[in-house]
Amino acid sequence: MKAKRNDKNAKEQGKDLRRGKDKSTDLPEKTDKPERPPRDVRQIEGKNPVLEALRSDVTIEKIMVAKGRRETGNTEIFDLAKERNIKIQMVDRKKLDYSTKTGNHQGIIAVATNFSYYEPEQMIQKAKDLGEDPFIVVLDQLTDPHNFGAIIRSADACGVHGIIITKNRSVDLTPIAVKASAGAAEHMMIGKVTNLAQTLQDLKEKGFWIGGADMSGEAYYNTNLKGPLAIVIGSEGKGIGRLVKENCDFTISIPMYGNMESLNASVAAGVLFCEAARQRKGER
Protein backbone atom coordinates (compact mmCIF):
# COMPACT_ATOMS: atom_id res chain seq x y z
CA MET A 1 0.00 0.00 0.00
CA LYS A 2 1.25 3.48 -0.88
CA ALA A 3 2.27 5.68 2.05
CA LYS A 4 0.41 8.96 2.17
CA ARG A 5 2.52 12.09 1.64
CA ASN A 6 1.22 13.57 4.85
CA ASP A 7 1.63 10.47 6.98
CA LYS A 8 3.12 12.34 9.93
CA ASN A 9 3.76 9.25 12.03
CA ALA A 10 5.69 7.48 9.34
CA LYS A 11 7.82 10.59 8.77
CA GLU A 12 8.61 10.90 12.43
CA GLN A 13 9.68 7.23 12.49
CA GLY A 14 12.15 7.96 9.71
CA LYS A 15 10.36 6.01 6.97
CA ASP A 16 10.93 6.89 3.35
CA LEU A 17 7.42 7.74 2.23
CA ARG A 18 8.27 7.38 -1.45
CA ARG A 19 9.26 3.75 -1.22
CA GLY A 20 7.67 2.67 2.04
CA LYS A 21 11.14 1.84 3.35
CA ASP A 22 12.79 2.63 6.61
CA LYS A 23 15.45 5.26 5.88
CA SER A 24 17.52 4.42 8.91
CA THR A 25 18.12 0.79 7.92
CA ASP A 26 18.23 0.67 4.11
CA LEU A 27 20.46 3.57 3.07
CA PRO A 28 24.00 2.59 2.15
CA GLU A 29 26.69 4.07 4.31
CA LYS A 30 28.18 7.28 2.95
CA THR A 31 31.63 6.67 1.58
CA ASP A 32 34.05 9.17 0.13
CA LYS A 33 33.99 8.76 -3.64
CA PRO A 34 37.51 8.28 -4.98
CA GLU A 35 38.44 11.40 -6.87
CA ARG A 36 38.57 10.98 -10.62
CA PRO A 37 41.82 12.36 -11.98
CA PRO A 38 41.08 15.07 -14.55
CA ARG A 39 41.59 13.77 -18.08
CA ASP A 40 44.37 15.66 -19.72
CA VAL A 41 42.54 15.91 -23.03
CA ARG A 42 40.83 18.50 -25.17
CA GLN A 43 38.53 18.52 -28.17
CA ILE A 44 39.57 19.72 -31.61
CA GLU A 45 36.54 20.55 -33.70
CA GLY A 46 36.01 21.02 -37.42
CA LYS A 47 37.70 19.80 -40.55
CA ASN A 48 40.71 22.15 -40.80
CA PRO A 49 41.64 22.09 -37.09
CA VAL A 50 41.53 18.25 -37.08
CA LEU A 51 43.53 18.08 -40.30
CA GLU A 52 46.21 20.45 -38.91
CA ALA A 53 46.37 18.44 -35.69
CA LEU A 54 46.96 15.29 -37.77
CA ARG A 55 49.71 17.09 -39.71
CA SER A 56 51.38 18.23 -36.46
CA ASP A 57 52.91 16.05 -33.75
CA VAL A 58 49.88 16.38 -31.43
CA THR A 59 48.87 13.08 -29.84
CA ILE A 60 45.32 12.24 -30.87
CA GLU A 61 43.34 9.64 -28.91
CA LYS A 62 40.52 9.20 -31.39
CA ILE A 63 38.50 11.00 -34.05
CA MET A 64 34.71 10.97 -34.07
CA VAL A 65 33.08 11.48 -37.45
CA ALA A 66 29.35 11.91 -38.07
CA LYS A 67 27.97 8.98 -40.05
CA GLY A 68 27.84 9.76 -43.75
CA ARG A 69 30.76 12.21 -43.69
CA ARG A 70 33.35 9.86 -45.18
CA GLU A 71 32.28 10.64 -48.74
CA THR A 72 32.19 14.39 -48.28
CA GLY A 73 35.81 15.38 -48.63
CA ASN A 74 37.42 13.93 -45.53
CA THR A 75 39.73 11.60 -47.44
CA GLU A 76 42.93 13.26 -46.22
CA ILE A 77 41.80 13.03 -42.60
CA PHE A 78 40.98 9.35 -43.00
CA ASP A 79 44.30 8.65 -44.75
CA LEU A 80 46.41 10.51 -42.16
CA ALA A 81 44.53 8.88 -39.28
CA LYS A 82 45.19 5.46 -40.81
CA GLU A 83 48.87 6.31 -41.29
CA ARG A 84 49.14 7.37 -37.64
CA ASN A 85 47.08 4.46 -36.39
CA ILE A 86 44.40 6.69 -34.87
CA LYS A 87 40.96 5.19 -34.26
CA ILE A 88 38.09 6.74 -36.23
CA GLN A 89 34.68 6.28 -34.65
CA MET A 90 31.62 6.76 -36.86
CA VAL A 91 28.94 8.25 -34.60
CA ASP A 92 25.47 9.75 -34.85
CA ARG A 93 25.63 13.45 -35.61
CA LYS A 94 23.58 13.99 -32.44
CA LYS A 95 26.48 12.73 -30.32
CA LEU A 96 28.71 15.45 -31.80
CA ASP A 97 25.95 18.06 -31.38
CA TYR A 98 25.76 17.05 -27.74
CA SER A 99 29.48 17.18 -27.00
CA THR A 100 30.58 20.15 -29.13
CA LYS A 101 32.31 22.99 -27.34
CA THR A 102 32.36 25.37 -30.29
CA GLY A 103 28.85 24.78 -31.63
CA ASN A 104 30.39 24.30 -35.06
CA HIS A 105 31.96 20.83 -35.28
CA GLN A 106 31.34 20.33 -39.03
CA GLY A 107 30.72 16.65 -38.35
CA ILE A 108 34.16 15.94 -36.94
CA ILE A 109 35.71 16.09 -33.46
CA ALA A 110 39.11 14.78 -32.38
CA VAL A 111 40.07 14.02 -28.79
CA ALA A 112 43.71 14.98 -28.24
CA THR A 113 46.14 15.54 -25.40
CA ASN A 114 46.16 19.00 -23.91
CA PHE A 115 48.47 21.74 -25.13
CA SER A 116 51.96 22.08 -23.72
CA TYR A 117 52.95 25.65 -23.05
CA TYR A 118 56.41 26.89 -24.00
CA GLU A 119 59.02 29.15 -22.45
CA PRO A 120 60.22 32.21 -24.42
CA GLU A 121 63.68 30.54 -24.53
CA GLN A 122 62.18 27.63 -26.49
CA MET A 123 60.70 30.08 -29.02
CA ILE A 124 64.11 31.75 -29.37
CA GLN A 125 65.73 28.35 -29.84
CA LYS A 126 63.21 27.51 -32.57
CA ALA A 127 64.22 30.69 -34.43
CA LYS A 128 67.89 29.82 -34.00
CA ASP A 129 67.31 26.32 -35.37
CA LEU A 130 65.73 27.91 -38.44
CA GLY A 131 68.64 30.34 -38.77
CA GLU A 132 66.31 33.32 -38.28
CA ASP A 133 66.10 36.31 -35.93
CA PRO A 134 63.44 35.55 -33.32
CA PHE A 135 60.01 37.09 -33.88
CA ILE A 136 57.65 36.85 -30.91
CA VAL A 137 54.13 38.19 -30.41
CA VAL A 138 52.95 39.31 -26.98
CA LEU A 139 49.24 39.63 -26.20
CA ASP A 140 48.44 41.94 -23.30
CA GLN A 141 45.30 40.41 -21.74
CA LEU A 142 43.38 39.73 -24.91
CA THR A 143 39.98 38.26 -24.03
CA ASP A 144 38.19 37.22 -27.22
CA PRO A 145 38.95 33.63 -28.37
CA HIS A 146 38.03 34.52 -31.97
CA ASN A 147 40.61 37.32 -31.96
CA PHE A 148 43.16 34.99 -30.38
CA GLY A 149 42.55 32.33 -33.03
CA ALA A 150 42.78 34.85 -35.87
CA ILE A 151 46.04 36.23 -34.43
CA ILE A 152 47.54 32.73 -34.18
CA ARG A 153 46.60 32.11 -37.82
CA SER A 154 48.17 35.39 -39.04
CA ALA A 155 51.22 34.83 -36.85
CA ASP A 156 51.75 31.41 -38.43
CA ALA A 157 51.43 32.92 -41.90
CA CYS A 158 54.02 35.63 -41.14
CA GLY A 159 56.75 33.46 -39.62
CA VAL A 160 56.20 34.26 -35.93
CA HIS A 161 58.10 31.81 -33.70
CA GLY A 162 55.88 32.02 -30.64
CA ILE A 163 53.07 33.88 -28.89
CA ILE A 164 53.16 34.91 -25.24
CA ILE A 165 49.92 35.43 -23.31
CA THR A 166 49.30 36.29 -19.68
CA LYS A 167 48.26 33.68 -17.09
CA ASN A 168 45.58 35.95 -15.66
CA ARG A 169 42.74 37.89 -17.22
CA SER A 170 43.53 36.49 -20.63
CA VAL A 171 41.97 34.28 -23.23
CA ASP A 172 43.34 30.73 -23.34
CA LEU A 173 43.67 28.04 -25.98
CA THR A 174 40.00 27.07 -25.86
CA PRO A 175 38.41 24.89 -28.57
CA ILE A 176 36.86 28.09 -29.98
CA ALA A 177 40.28 29.79 -30.25
CA VAL A 178 41.75 26.68 -31.89
CA LYS A 179 38.81 26.52 -34.32
CA ALA A 180 39.20 30.23 -35.13
CA SER A 181 42.89 29.62 -35.85
CA ALA A 182 41.83 27.01 -38.46
CA GLY A 183 44.23 24.64 -36.73
CA ALA A 184 47.28 26.96 -36.83
CA ALA A 185 47.34 26.67 -33.02
CA GLU A 186 48.62 23.10 -33.42
CA HIS A 187 51.83 24.44 -34.98
CA MET A 188 52.40 27.57 -32.87
CA MET A 189 54.42 27.71 -29.63
CA ILE A 190 52.29 29.45 -27.02
CA GLY A 191 53.71 30.56 -23.67
CA LYS A 192 51.96 31.84 -20.54
CA VAL A 193 53.60 34.29 -18.17
CA THR A 194 52.51 35.96 -14.94
CA ASN A 195 54.39 39.22 -15.26
CA LEU A 196 54.39 40.59 -18.80
CA ALA A 197 56.47 43.68 -17.96
CA GLN A 198 59.18 41.41 -16.50
CA THR A 199 59.05 39.15 -19.57
CA LEU A 200 59.57 42.17 -21.84
CA GLN A 201 62.56 43.25 -19.75
CA ASP A 202 64.02 39.75 -20.05
CA LEU A 203 63.53 39.81 -23.82
CA LYS A 204 65.21 43.23 -24.02
CA GLU A 205 68.21 41.83 -22.16
CA LYS A 206 68.36 39.11 -24.82
CA GLY A 207 68.61 41.78 -27.51
CA PHE A 208 64.96 42.08 -28.55
CA TRP A 209 63.32 45.28 -29.78
CA ILE A 210 59.86 45.62 -28.27
CA GLY A 211 57.26 47.35 -30.44
CA GLY A 212 53.87 48.15 -28.93
CA ALA A 213 50.96 48.32 -31.40
CA ASP A 214 49.16 51.52 -30.57
CA MET A 215 47.08 54.08 -32.43
CA SER A 216 49.39 56.91 -31.36
CA GLY A 217 52.69 55.49 -32.62
CA GLU A 218 54.97 55.90 -35.63
CA ALA A 219 53.38 54.77 -38.93
CA TYR A 220 54.20 51.08 -39.27
CA TYR A 221 55.63 51.44 -42.79
CA ASN A 222 58.27 53.85 -41.47
CA THR A 223 59.30 51.53 -38.63
CA ASN A 224 62.22 49.14 -38.72
CA LEU A 225 60.84 45.71 -37.83
CA LYS A 226 64.00 43.68 -38.52
CA GLY A 227 66.17 41.84 -35.99
CA PRO A 228 65.04 40.12 -32.80
CA LEU A 229 61.52 41.53 -32.38
CA ALA A 230 58.50 41.30 -30.09
CA ILE A 231 55.26 43.00 -31.15
CA VAL A 232 52.80 43.69 -28.33
CA ILE A 233 49.08 43.76 -29.12
CA GLY A 234 46.74 45.33 -26.58
CA SER A 235 43.45 44.03 -25.26
CA GLU A 236 40.11 44.72 -26.93
CA GLY A 237 38.94 47.00 -24.14
CA LYS A 238 41.80 49.00 -22.72
CA GLY A 239 44.63 48.42 -25.18
CA ILE A 240 48.18 48.00 -23.89
CA GLY A 241 48.51 48.45 -20.11
CA ARG A 242 50.59 51.33 -18.74
CA LEU A 243 53.38 49.23 -17.27
CA VAL A 244 53.66 47.10 -20.41
CA LYS A 245 53.72 50.23 -22.58
CA GLU A 246 56.55 51.64 -20.47
CA ASN A 247 58.56 48.56 -21.36
CA CYS A 248 58.12 49.01 -25.11
CA ASP A 249 61.04 50.52 -27.04
CA PHE A 250 58.72 52.13 -29.60
CA THR A 251 55.10 52.15 -30.68
CA ILE A 252 53.83 51.19 -34.13
CA SER A 253 50.65 52.62 -35.58
CA ILE A 254 48.37 51.88 -38.51
CA PRO A 255 47.03 55.26 -39.64
CA MET A 256 43.25 55.56 -39.29
CA TYR A 257 41.51 57.61 -42.02
CA GLY A 258 37.85 57.02 -41.16
CA ASN A 259 35.61 57.61 -38.20
CA MET A 260 36.84 54.82 -35.95
CA GLU A 261 39.62 55.28 -33.43
CA SER A 262 41.05 51.79 -33.64
CA LEU A 263 41.00 48.52 -35.55
CA ASN A 264 39.97 45.14 -34.21
CA ALA A 265 42.99 43.68 -32.38
CA SER A 266 43.35 40.74 -34.77
CA VAL A 267 43.07 42.94 -37.85
CA ALA A 268 45.74 45.33 -36.51
CA ALA A 269 47.93 42.32 -35.65
CA GLY A 270 47.55 40.93 -39.19
CA VAL A 271 48.62 44.22 -40.82
CA LEU A 272 51.66 44.60 -38.55
CA PHE A 273 52.77 40.96 -38.85
CA CYS A 274 52.61 41.20 -42.66
CA GLU A 275 54.78 44.33 -42.65
CA ALA A 276 57.25 42.67 -40.29
CA ALA A 277 57.36 39.58 -42.53
CA ARG A 278 57.87 41.75 -45.62
CA GLN A 279 60.84 43.55 -44.03
CA ARG A 280 62.31 40.43 -42.42
CA LYS A 281 62.02 38.18 -45.46
CA GLY A 282 63.51 40.91 -47.64
CA GLU A 283 60.50 41.31 -49.91
CA ARG A 284 59.59 44.65 -51.47
Ligand X SMILES: C[S@@+](CC[C@H](N)C(=O)[O-])C[C@H]1O[C@@H](n2cnc3c(N)ncnc32)[C@H](O)[C@@H]1O
**CB nearer ligand X, residue 116 or residue 216:** 216
Tell me whether residue 23 or residue 169 sits nearer to ligand X (CB atom).
Answer: 169
The CB-of-269 to ligand X minimum distance in angstroms stands at 7
Least separation in angstroms between residue 148's CB and ligand X is 12
For residue 147, the minimal CB distance to ligand X (Å) is 9
Q: How far is the CB of 119 from ligand X (least distance, A)?
A: 24
CB nearer to ligand X: pick between 52 and 144: 144
List residues binding ligand X (CB under 6 A): 213-215, 233-234, 236, 238-240, 253-254, 256, 262-263, 265, 268
Q: Encode 58-85: b = buried (16+ Cβ within 10 Å), e = exposed.
A: bebeebbbbeebeeeebeebeebbeeee
241 class by beta-carbon count within 10 Å (0-12 exposed, 13-18 middle, 19+ buried): middle
Q: Which is nearer to ligand X, 145 or 175 (CB)?
A: 145
- C-beta of 156 vs 275, nearer to ligand X: 275
Alpha carbon distance 152, 183 (integer Å): 9
Smallest distance, Å, CB 90 to ligand X?
A: 43
The answer to whether 255 and 236 have CB atoms below 8 angstroms apart is no
